[in-house]
Amino acid sequence: MDAKQILKSLSIEKKLGLLTGYDNFSALKINDEPLIRMADGPNGVKTADGDSLCFPNTCLMASSFDKELCFEIGKMLGIEARRHGVNLLLAPNVNIKRNPLAGRNFESYSEDPFVTGALALEFIKGIKSKKVGACIKHYACNNQEHLRWIQNSVIDDDTLRNVYLKAFEMVINGTDVDFVMTAYNKVNGKQCCENEYLLKTILRDEWGYKGAVVSDWASIGDVVQALKNGLDIEMPCNYELTYPKLYKAYASGELTEQEIDEKLTRLIEFYNGISHDTNFNEEIDEQKLRKFTGESFILLKNDGVLPLKSDEKVLIVGSSAENPRIQGGGCANIKTKTILRATDEIMKQTVNAEYVSDYELCGITASDLKSYDKIVVFLSLDFGSDSEAYDRTDLSFPIQQITAVKKIAKHNPNVIAVLSNGSAVDLSFDKYTKAVLETYYAGSLGAGAIADVLYGKTTPSGKLAETFPLSVSDVPSYNFACGEDVNYAEREFVGYRYYTTYGVKTKYPFGYGLSYCKFNIDNVKIDGSGYDYEVSFDITNNSKYDGKETVQIYLGDESRFAPKKQLIEFITTRVKAGEKKSCKAKIGASSFSRYLNGTKKLLVGKFKIIVATSSEHEIFSKDIELNKDSFAPISRETLIGELMKVDRYREIAKKYLLKAINLWAFGDENSDKNFEDDEFLRNHAYGMPIRGIAYFSLGKLTDETIKQLILELNNA
Ligand code: GLC
């Protein structure tokens, strides 16, 4: 579909009407059918017929710390979307878990921006690999549900960029995400959908984002202002109210046809980039999904009672074993016809399991309890918590479930707690247990995965992507549900970045998780200098179980007022029983650049590279000296002089930029003169950033070309 041709054929009245949705979940109805058909994710395709699978919720997917797994699950979501005729999935949600009480934490990844961005990037690539669009949300600082429509996130620029925008930036730098959805709330007094700083200065000018920008549903105050400040389309349909305003703005010249065409071009280009093949018959590999689900569970405690043996006499306790909580509430909640039950799935693994649903344990005597080898208690937050539109008020499981754990432990020490929750919970009761398995909201096949893990068919390999604090009052943003203005006074000290800096004890730290395997990590090396390092190590699995281990790499930063530890990479690797593997990861300039006072700079000074198996468990570290003179991460802001003076960049820079420089210097892109021979021309050109010379290239140096140039230079 040629956008220019289409737009030429449309009246202005028609065009204006396309700037609002066609109905609740479709848009761009140029002829007889809306061309963009969207649906919520992120843990399934929300459709009326309800026959989509419910996938592991993002909180669980994040716990995998597995980029490949997230790519594969993204592919499955893409298949599901194609099966339902959906071409734009409203996912992923990359909002940072600023506070464990926030209602939509189940739907997002982590308290840490790096793991959020790294996994969301792979998830999006997976969706797009099926020629379905992805929409990253909610841009930005939608970190609570309390007053979300009017709430104002008051935040300093460095914290905004280094923590709350970082995942968006990583994704936009890493792939062509199709849509960015603006959040309901304000940032520093300006509604996100009308926030020119967010939508133009950062998203377009600095990051070079080429996709479209859509509002969150009905979140717009002034639709003309929003469109002027960077929004492309309002959702859902609000034609009756919006059209008159848009026509008036057009008629007065406030909104120009050129602006309108640019917006519609982005929507048409999106449509051109997705598949239109209707005979799609790929299926989801449910066994693979069930495996992914189980291996993402986090084993928080195991005093030798897991895995269970099929000849052990087991009692299953709790109604959520047969009526599982598989997902959070709100727009992400999908109807599904597939919900496995742990009671059924466990009884497929063993004939020695019995089940009692009520936590009161009516009719179960002390001697009954003593008669079992193991007792598995299923704890679950009630169906009202962990939802869009409101936050939790505390971290506790329902009291009758905890009472059951304590009562059972009095008569039988072998208590195993299986948890189902959307975000961090109070686990002060775990002293009454011998094992705790965190399963979060595990989707349609979750109960099967639980049975597989309990009986050792799958090794739980997940790590916490959020801290479980000892108390909610330990959380630095604990006062978040205050008035409209929410002050991000804790700055970058979110989650483990706070606890590790200020030495606050936690119940279970970020990055923590046990396994059935016994991993030995040795021969750790950190080689390199300046801004280029390689971390390598050997890992041996001294057990009879296949499993995965996640080694985390943190930047130790004590040279300034900043979080003492910041995750900069993680390596998740599968290691078979008895196998030994060598692993390595490159750490480059992007790991050492931060926004400082509004511009991205390279860190300078003394730091540490820390190799760890959680934010509180270091296994190796090396002091390093970062000195800006040795290397600069290339960006649109990099000066041409910096490129021309460094051998490994000079030829690449000339390949891409010399024609534009010649055109600017001599009016002839093929001039045989050398601009560097002229004092003025050399100094002027050398002082120009890459984005500057693009203006003189008569459109030949496109954003895409510059992105390619930067990529090639950064890999040089
Ligand atoms: C909701 C959510 C957003 C969702 C949209 C469409 O209010 O905030 O995540 O995609 O509306 O349902």
Instruction: Specify whether the CB–CB gap between 556 and 621 falls below 8 A.
Output: yes
Answer yes or no: is the C-beta of 694 below 6 A from any ligand 1 atom.
Answer: no
Mean pLDDT of 156-173: 97
Instruction: Specify whether the CB–CB gap between 170 and 499 falls below 8 A.
Output: no
Residue 249 has pLDDT above 80, yes or no: yes
183 CA → ligand 1 middle, Å: 9
pLDDT tens readout for residues 280-313: 899 999 999 999 999 999 999 999 999 999 999 9
Residue 165 has pLDDT above 60, yes or no: yes
Q: Whose CA is nearest to atom 12 of ligand 1?
A: 331
The closest-lying atom of ligand 1 relative to the alpha carbon of residue 25 is 6
Mean pLDDT of 203-214: 95
Residue 444 has pLDDT above 60, yes or no: yes
Sequence length of the chain is: 716
Per-chain mean pLDDT for the chain: 95
Supply the DSSP string of 265-285, one letter for each residue. HHHHHHHHHS-----------
- The residues with which 299 forms a beta bridge, in sequence order, are 437, 514
Answer yes or no: is the C-beta of 148 below 6 A from any ligand 1 atom.
Answer: no
Choice among 27-31, 32-36, 277-281 with the minimum mean pLDDT: 277-281
At residue 694, the pLDDT reads 86
Answer yes or no: is the C-beta of 438 below 6 A from any ligand 1 atom.
Answer: no
The closest-lying atom of ligand 1 relative to the alpha carbon of residue 183 is 8
At residue 632, the pLDDT reads 54
pLDDT tens readout for residues 118-132: 999 999 999 999 999
Mean pLDDT of 673-692: 91
Residue 626 has pLDDT above 70, yes or no: yes
Mean pLDDT of 634-642: 87
Residue 225 has pLDDT above 80, yes or no: yes
pLDDT band for position 598 (cuts 50, 70, 90): confident
Coil vs helix vs strand at 394: coil
pLDDT tens readout for residues 82-121: 999 999 999 999 999 999 999 999 999 999 999 999 999 9
- The residues with which 187 forms a beta bridge, in sequence order, are 153, 190
Residue 485 has pLDDT above 90, yes or no: yes
At residue 644, the pLDDT reads 87
pLDDT tens readout for residues 340-363: 999 999 999 999 999 999 999 999
At residue 630, the pLDDT reads 53
Supply the DSSP string of 574-601, one letter for each residue. EE-TT-EEEEEEEE-GGGGEEEETTEEE
Residue 272 has pLDDT above 80, yes or no: yes
Q: Whose CA is nearest to atom 7 of ligand 1?
A: 217
Residue 472, phi then psi, degrees to nearest 5: -65, -25
pLDDT tens readout for residues 537-590: 999 999 999 999 999 999 999 888 899 999 999 999 999 999 999 999 999 888
pLDDT band for position 667 (cuts 50, 70, 90): very high
At residue 483, the pLDDT reads 86
At residue 629, the pLDDT reads 60
The closest-lying atom of ligand 1 relative to the alpha carbon of residue 46 is 12
Instruction: Specify whether the CB–CB gap between 555 and 568 falls below 8 A.
Output: yes
Residue 646 has pLDDT above 90, yes or no: no
Q: What does the alpha-carbon distance between residue 45 and residue 130 come to, in Å, rounded to a whole number?
A: 14
The question of whether 677 is a catalytic residue gets the answer no
Instruction: Specify whether the CB–CB gap between 111 and 466 falls below 8 A.
Output: yes
Given the residues 112, 176, 178, 216, the one annotated as active site: 216
Q: What is the percentage of the chain residues whose pLDDT exceeds 70?
A: 99
14 CA → ligand 1 middle, Å: 26
At residue 700, the pLDDT reads 84
Answer yes or no: is the C-beta of 137 below 6 A from any ligand 1 atom.
Answer: yes
